[in-house]
Structure formats: structure tokens, C-alpha cells
Amino acid sequence: MSPRNELNFSGGPGALPETVLAQVREAIAAVPEVGLSILGISHRSDWFCAVIAELERNFRTLLGLPDNYHVLFLQGGATQQFSMLPMHLLRGQSRPAEYLHTGYWSGKAIPEAELEGPLKVLWSGAANGFHRLPADDELIFAADAPYLHYVSNETVEGLQFHRVLGRDDVPRICDMSSDFLSRPCAAERFSLIYAHAQKNIGPAGVTIVLLRDELIEQAPSQLPSFLDYRKQIQAHSNLNTPPVFAIYVVLLVSRWLLNDIGGIERMAEINRRKAESLYATLDDSDGFYRGRAALADRSLMNVVFNLASPEREQHFLGAAQAAGFSGLGGHRAIGGIRASIYNALTEAAVDELRGFMDDFRRRSGA
Ligand SMILES: *Cc1c(COP(=O)(O)O)cnc(C)c1O
């Protein structure tokens, strides 16, 4: 069977809602209120300025974001934020910024920041193979750190923090690329949040940055314009040609969240039900499916698990593909199986996967 779009469990780029895809198909031919294809509309048009304004408003509504936050739509992915952030906040500092090394993606951020200034890894899960996250009593935060950086959801290992970390008197910075807008995130407790679109809220090409205005007052003045948050703020994310298409798709997703789903709390309830039922399928399998993450740190977005052997996992993936599922292979860094159940993945799709998993287990004689 060829892949069924509604059964796309890909870790990223992730699935998008069917209703959004239908509007995207239409917009590629012509955006109804403009009469031109979305691929050929000027980023200096009034229409596009209104797109940016509405999207910013939608984020403020969805997150309850206070007025002293800027909302930016940038390029370069989360990876560019690994550098852009320490360029502003770490260059020329004598005190180390504090980083948590909780998995693959937080590990990518650390060497980039080290290029800009001193850094302290406050806790690392490397020795235990990133099977769990730190408990509060394992973390001692310094009062004079320039900032704390962590990743809310480790996409590869399937580990997610279910609390806000750090001190309120030290800027708290979080990479929320793989769980942004999947649940309430207490945005007002963070000085800066970044999240690229392509896991949960749109296609690749745009990265959302929310930042509190006082954070960058002391930043060095000699930064390339494109990499300077202040210049991007002045230009309303329109400093050079922005990714018009990607931003428009994120706008459609934000409308879907507000109008079809009914907000972030509702989205979080749905996401919790999906994750709980899928984890129950692992836990009720008598060890046939083995969840990778410690129970308390299980991700509601990326359900990562193993079977008894790599051969059995290959067999599972082949059978899943034949049944129309896709994207279930684990990240190339760790293998295994990963079912990513981002916002757009429906409860019906999760039910189909559970049905398939139960069948596969029975057919394997377990
Ligand atoms: C996928 C991912 C990244 C990498 O993002 P790019 O946009 O490809 O640079 C960074 N952080 C997290 C948490 C991710 O899941």
C-alpha cells in the first residue's frame, strides 16, 4: 500500500492538518482574497503585512503573551538560534551561561554557544544514554549566570520536561521546536523561546522567536543585520525577503488551532489522550514494546520505543509501511521506533497505530 497521509508519524517535517493542506492547495493556485498564487505575492504587499500582523496576534492570543514580548519570524531554523542567541547574550561575558545536555538537540546547541563565550553544562544525561531528565535536586542554578538554556522536548529520545526549570531572576531560554503550541507553556516565564515550524506548526523555512524586550538591551552592537534581533524587530520580520509561503501556512495552522481546535488547552487535552493511549499500548504489551524514556519524563509528542531486537524492529517497520504508515523509523542517531504524534496527528490515526501494534504483537506469537 502507498503511504496514507493521515498516518504520517514523521519526526519532522511533521504532518499538517487536512483542512490546512486543502487551503494550501487552493493558495498555491491563487489566494482567494488576492487572486495571485501564494508563491508569487510580494513580501512588501499590504496583504502580506496583514498576514504577519494577524499571525502575531494569533500567537499572542494562543499563548496569552504579554505586550513586552516581540514576536519574530526568522529563517535559519532552530540551528541558527543555537548561534544567534549566544551572539547577543554570551559574547564578551565572563560568567558562564548554563546549559542542560538532555539529548541530541540540546547537545547540538552547546558547541555553537561555546564559540561565543563561557558555558557550563549543568547536567548531562550522556552517561545514562539520555533515558531520563534531571530531577530538581540534581540542578543547582547560579544566580549570576547570563542565562539558562534548555530544550523542552528532546525530539530524538522522546523526553519532555513537564515543568518550568531555573530561577526567575536569570533569563530562561528554551528551544521548544518540537512541542511549541502543543500545550500551555507559561511563555511569560521565559525571556526567549524559539521554535522552528516544521515539527508542530508548519513547513520548514520559518522559525518563531518570542523575546522579552529588555533581554537584548545590552547586546553587542556589531552584529550582522540579519542576525541582530533588534534589526529584525525594527523591520517587523521583513528585513529581507522572508519565507512568505511558510509564514502563510503557519498562519493557517494558527487559525486552525484557534477556531477548529479551540485553543491550546483543548489541543493539550487531545495530545494527552493520544500519548496516554499509545503509551498504554506499550505498557500493556508484556515487554514486547519497550518504552525508551523514564516514565516521569515521557514525551507527549515523540513516543520512542524498542522491540526485542533490531531484526524484529525492521520487520515491524516493514509491516507498518505495508499497512500505509510512514515516518515510524527512529532517528538515525539511536534507531528503534519513534511515533511522533504532533498536533495534526489525529486520535483516529493513533487508534489505527495501536490496532496495528496489537495485531503485530499477536502475529509475532507474543
Ligand atoms: C529538529 C530540531 C532542531 C533542529 O532544527 P533545524 O530547524 O533543522 O535547525 C532543533 N531543536 C529541536 C528540539 C528539534 O527537534
Percent of the chain with pLDDT over 70: 100
Does residue 14 belong to any structural domain of this protein?
Answer: no
pLDDT digits (tens, 9 = 90+) for 335-365: 999 999 999 999 999 999 999 999 999 999 8
Note if the bond before 17 is cis, omega within 30 degrees: no
Please give the pLDDT value at position 1: 77
Claim to verify: residue 238 and residue 269 sit in the same structural domain: no
Instruction: Please tell me which residue in 46, 47, 67, 105 is annotated as part of the active site.
Output: 105
The CATH number covering residue 347 comes to: 3.90.1150.10
| pLDDT of 9 over the 80 cut | yes
pLDDT tens-place string over residues 193-216? 999 999 999 999 999 999 999 999
> Cα torsion for 222, 228, 233, 234, to the nearest 10°?
40
- Work out how many domains the chain is built from and give that number: 2
Enclosing domain of residue 151:
20-261
Rg (CA), the chain: 21
Measured CA to CA, the distance from residue 246 to residue 249 in angstroms comes to 5
Residues 210, 185, single domain; the answer is yes
Query: CATH code at 167?
Result: 3.40.640.10
Residue with the smallest CA separation from ligand 1 atom 10 is 78
Residue 268 alpha carbon to ligand 1 centre in Å: 21
- Cβ of 102 closer than 6 Å to ligand 1, yes or no, is no
Residue 153 and residue 167 in one domain = yes
13 CB within 6 A, ligand 1: no
The answer to whether position 12 is within a domain reads no
Q: Give distance in angstroms: CA of 79 to centre of ligand 1.
A: 6
Orientation of helix 244-255 relative to helix 18-29, angle to 10°: 140
| Per-residue pLDDT at 26 exceeds 90 | yes
CB 209 within 8 A of CB 229: yes
Averaged pLDDT for residues 217-223: 93
> Which pLDDT value is given to residue 365?
80
Our answer to whether residue 144 is catalytic in this structure is: no
Which amino acid does the sequence have at 341?
A: I
Q: Which of 46, 144, 175, 213 is catalytic?
A: 175
Rounded to 5°, the CA angle 126-161-195 comes to 95
Q: Cell 524514556 belongs to which residue? A: 293
Contact criterion met (CB below 8 Å) for 90 and 108: no
189 pLDDT higher than 80: yes
Examine the residue annotation and report whether 175 is marked as an active-site residue of this protein: yes
* Structural domain includes residue 305: yes
Residue 7 located in a structural domain: no
| DSSP track, 47-79 | HHHHHHHHHHHHHHHHHT--TTEEEEEESSHHH
The residue-averaged pLDDT of 55-64 equals 97
Whole-number Cα distances in Å, 3 to 38, 283, 303, 320: 27, 27, 20, 10
Judgement on whether residues 235 and 279 belong to the same structural domain of the protein:
no
338 lines ligand 1 (CB under 6 A): no
Determine whether 199 is an active site residue.
yes
Please indicate, yes or no, if residue 286 is contained in any of the structural domains.
yes
Lookup result for grid cell 510580494: 42
Q: Are residues 165 and 31 in the same domain?
A: yes
Whether residue 133 sits in one domain with residue 194: yes
Same domain, 194 and 83: yes
Contacts of 151 by beta carbon, 8 Å cutoff, 6+ apart: 100, 102, 103, 105, 106, 109, 174, 175, 177
Do the domain assignments include residue 238?
yes
**Among candidate residues 202, 217, 154, the one with its CA nearest the CA of residue 55:** 202
The catalytic residue among 179, 199, 228, 297 is 199
Residues 181 and 274 in one domain: no
* pLDDT tens-place string over residues 256-276: 999 999 999 999 999 999 999
Q: Last residue of a domain, which of 261, 286, 315?
A: 261
- The verdict on residue 119 lying in a domain is yes
Residues 93 and 168 in one domain: yes
Q: Which atom of ligand 1 is nearest to the CA of 153?
A: 13
Over residues 295-312, mean pLDDT:
97
330 and 192 fall within a common domain: no
Residue at which a domain ends, from 199, 228, 261:
261
Rounded percentage of the chain residues whose pLDDT exceeds 90: 98
Going by CA atoms, what residue is nearest to atom 7 of ligand 1?
Answer: 77
Spatial CB neighbours of 231, under 8 Å, sequence gap ≥ 6: 225, 239
pLDDT reading at 186 higher than 80: yes
In a domain, 6, yes or no: no
316, amino acid identity:
F
Contact indicator for 86, 112 with CB cutoff of 8 Å: yes
| pLDDT reported for residue 72 | 98
Has residue 366 got a pLDDT over 80?
no
Confidence at residue 247, expressed as pLDDT on a 0 to 100 scale: 98
Q: Please, which residues bridge with residue 214 across strands?
A: none
Of 240, 261, 282, the residue that ends a domain is 261
Pick the closest to residue 187 from 23, 54, 59 (CA basis): 59
Decide: 175 in ligand 1 pocket, CB within 6 A.
Answer: yes
**Same domain, residue pair 234 and 278:** no
Q: What mean pLDDT value characterizes the chain?
A: 97
Residue with CA at minimum distance from ligand 1 atom 8: 77
* In a shared domain, residues 184 and 270: no
